[in-house]
């Protein structure tokens, strides 16, 4: 066995010698890999180092742009009464949270909390003195005169914000503005000739490319971690306006607000969220694309607040079954599941069952694309939507509203019950006037029992069937006719717990 190992080693040496001489059998003109010194590698950006050595070397990036990454300490005065009963909240979160809530377990903000923020003595009176607390985060300098980007949740509610540079200098920072919707905040310190990062274009990045994070996890300043881009344009619960970059870069409490670099040393994102069941890194990190953050920054610096366009619809993605139900060859676009009455979409004639394919000529490949595209349109301006309706596309002109516009809904009829046998397999009855008023709908059939195809699709008793393939359902006979005349699949518009969604049903 040893002889075989030595033999392989000898072959390896022979190949190495051949390569160093620039020779590969049958390919005499193949150039030899370049040999560079550690000092030369350190001076290169990772992409250059990878091209010359075969592996990325991040030391040059860290030396060049590490000084532009800062540690942020935000001090708060927390009302003792607000903390009562919240023992064990993650990372200093001061809001009451149900630890069994799946969203609490799924997406957690991460900034390092001091023990005082865990709070909650479980009893006592309401007149306890206010308790000071602090949170730690990261940020990065984007202009030499002292503008800094970070996450809004890092400085939310802070009385004093302190920025510490890598050269140990500390500055009191002014919060120029913070936007909770995008989780972006802009700080300003009184300094000049500061080191800055280079801004890149995340749209040019690709899944599988190397990325680097620099930040202050658990307060350890200028910690460097690396990984790859796992996915792009991730849509997360309650985060409608940000197409997140997903990575497997190790980030932890305190990394929040720090930069995500590409191999060229350009910032392409702000590290903002992690997926975690423990509060620590578990392989899924999410960053705000820097181009979205810069748009927010520009508005915050100019006006102190962010203005967003609003369409007034709820949308969902399509799978192949839903696409078939609407006569589409492939699933694409954003399926409208509900329309706010008196909102911009309703005034333009948009309906549940419409599929929005593009906005001003810019394709909507998935439902997660739409909110950011609409939000970026100036309120009051006109947008052209390409909409798929009745198995054909058409253009719809919409006057975009403001995000601050209120949402409105509607109401209406009867009492009877029947069993729909066969293809769908539900027992339904019309809604009573009180039920319509409570659900804020003008029509629909209440599901009392579900079996067969409906149960397999996830339809439950208590759901309200509002439409079939985008056509409103007002009575039981109409539903029967729609089901009997349908193909192998349909899309039911269902209302459940005041939310509307299209459910694909395979009728076989």
Domain boundaries, the chain: 55-76+132-301, 309-402, 426-506
Kindly give the residue spans of alpha helices, DSSP state H, lying in 86-178. Answer: 102-106, 152-155
Which helix (H) or strand (E) segment is 447 a member of?
Answer: strand 445-450
pLDDT computed for residue 331 by the predictor: 92
Q: Which residues pair with 316 in a beta bridge?
A: 335
The per-residue pLDDT for range 318-345, each reduced to its tens digit, is 889 889 989 999 999 999 988 888 889 9
3-state helix, strand, coil in the chain (%, to 5): 25, 35, 40
Q: pTM higher than 0.85 for the full model?
A: no
Binding-site residues for substrate, please?
A: 153, 183, 254-256
- Cα separation, 362 vs 308, whole angstroms: 18
Question: 360: closest CA among 334, 329, 398?
Answer: 398
- Please identify which residue in the block is written with the tokens 């996890």: 217
CATH 2.40.10.120 matches 55-76+132-301: yes
Binding-site residues, please?
A: 153, 183, 254-256
The per-residue pLDDT for range 415-429, each reduced to its tens digit, is 334 444 457 888 888
Asked if the model's pLDDT at residue 4 lies above 60, the reply is no
Q: Which residues pair with 135 in a beta bridge?
A: 74, 113
Instruction: Using CA atoms of 45, 46, 50, 55 in order, give the dihedral in degrees to the nearest 10.
Output: 140
User: Which 3 state secondary structure label does DSSP give 439?
Assistant: helix
Q: What is the DSSP string of 263-291?
A: TTSEEEEEEEEEE-SSSS--S-EEEEEHH
pLDDT computed for residue 35 by the predictor: 52
CA distances 390 to 282, 493, 507, Å, are: 45, 16, 20
Mean pLDDT value of segment 351-373:
90
- Cα separation, 31 vs 27, whole angstroms: 10
Q: Which CATH superfamily is domain 426-506 in?
A: PDZ domain (2.30.42.10)
Are 352 and 338 in contact by the 8 Å Cβ rule? The answer is yes
The residue ranges of DSSP E strands in 180-296, in sequence order, are 184-188, 198-199, 210-215, 223-236, 239-247, 259-261, 266-275, 285-289
pLDDT computed for residue 256 by the predictor: 94
The per-residue pLDDT for range 61-109, each reduced to its tens digit, is 999 999 999 999 998 765 544 333 333 333 333 333 344 444 444 444 4
Question: 204: closest CA among 245, 151, 256, 148?
Answer: 245
Asked if the model's pLDDT at residue 359 lies above 70, the reply is yes
Q: What is the mean pLDDT of the chain?
A: 78
Choose the weakest-confidence range: 51-60, 163-172, 498-507. 51-60
pLDDT computed for residue 94 by the predictor: 35
Domains 55-76+132-301 and 426-506 share a fold: no
Mean pLDDT value of segment 438-464:
85
- Cα separation, 337 vs 318, whole angstroms: 11
CA distances 408 to 103, 180, 342, Å, are: 26, 23, 7
Question: Active-site residue numbers?
Answer: 153, 183, 256
pLDDT computed for residue 50 by the predictor: 63
- Cα separation, 302 vs 176, whole angstroms: 10
What is the Rg, in whole angstroms, of the alpha carbon atoms belonging to the chain? Answer: 28
Pairing of strands 147-150, 107-109: unpaired
Asked if the model's pLDDT at residue 455 lies above 80, the reply is yes
Are 451 and 426 in contact by the 8 Å Cβ rule? The answer is yes
Tokens of 36: 């560079």
Mean pLDDT value of segment 466-492:
86
Architecture of domain 309-402: Roll (2.30)
């Amino acid at each position: 066995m040893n002889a075989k190992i030595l033999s392989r080693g000898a072959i390896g040496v022979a190949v190495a010698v051949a390569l160093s001489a620039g020779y590969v059998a049958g390919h005499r003109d193949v150039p030899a890999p370049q040999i560079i010194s550690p000092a030369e590698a350190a001076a290169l950006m990772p992409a250059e180092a990878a091209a010359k050595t075969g592996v990325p070397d991040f030391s040059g990036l860290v030396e060049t742009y590490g000084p532009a990454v800062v540690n942020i300490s935000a001090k708060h005065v927390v009302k003792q009464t607000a903390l009562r009963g919240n023992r064990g909240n993650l990372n200093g979160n001061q809001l009451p949270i149900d630890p069994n809530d799946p969203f609490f377990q799924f997406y957690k903000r991460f900034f390092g909390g001091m023990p005082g923020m865990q709070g909650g003595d479980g009893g006592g009176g309401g007149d306890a003195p206010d308790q000071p607390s602090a949170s730690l985060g990261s940020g990065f300098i984007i202009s030499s005169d002292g503008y800094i980007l970070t996450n809004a949740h890092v400085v939310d509610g802070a009385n004093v914000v302190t920025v510490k540079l890598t050269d140990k200098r500390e500055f009191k920072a002014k919060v120029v503005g913070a936007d909770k919707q995008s989780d972006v905040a802009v700080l300003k310190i009184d300094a000049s000739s500061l080191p800055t990062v280079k801004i890149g274009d995340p749209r040019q990045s690709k899944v599988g490319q190397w990325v680097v994070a620099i930040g202050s996890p658990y307060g350890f300043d200028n910690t460097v971690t690396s990984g790859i881009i796992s996915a792009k344009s991730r849509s997360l619960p309650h985060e409608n306006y940000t197409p997140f970059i997903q990575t497997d870069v190790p980030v932890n409490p305190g990394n929040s607000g720090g930069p995500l670099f590409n191999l060229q040393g350009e910032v392409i994102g702000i590290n903002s969220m992690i997926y975690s069941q423990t509060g620590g890194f578990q392989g899924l990190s999410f960053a705000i694309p820097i181009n979205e953050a810069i748009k927010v920054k520009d508005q915050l610096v100019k006006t102190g607040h962010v203005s967003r366009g609003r369409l007034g619809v709820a949308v969902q993605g399509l799978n192949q079954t839903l696409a078939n139900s609407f006569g589409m060859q492939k699933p694409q676009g954003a399926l409208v599941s509900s329309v706010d009455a008196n909102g911009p979409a309703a005034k333009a004639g948009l309906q549940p069952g419409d599929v929005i394919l593009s906005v001003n000529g810019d394709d909507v490949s998935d439902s997660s694309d739409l909110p950011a595209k609409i939000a970026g349109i100036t309120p009051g301006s006109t947008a052209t939507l390409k909409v798929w309706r009745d198995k054909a596309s058409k253009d719809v002109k919409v006057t975009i509203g403001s995000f601050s516009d209120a949402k409105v809904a509607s109401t209406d009829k009867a009492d009877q019950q029947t069993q729909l046998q066969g293809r769908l397999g539900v027992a339904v009855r019309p809604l009573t006037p009180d039920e319509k008023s409570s659900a804020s709908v003008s029509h629909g059939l209440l599901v009392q029992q579900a079996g067969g195809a409906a149960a397999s699709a996830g339809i439950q008793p208590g759901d309200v069937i509002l439409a079939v393939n985008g056509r409103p359902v007002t009575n039981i006979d109409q539903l029967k006719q729609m089901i009997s005349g349908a193909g192998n699949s349909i899309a039911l518009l269902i209302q459940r717990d005041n939310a509307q969604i299209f459910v694909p049903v395979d009728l076989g």
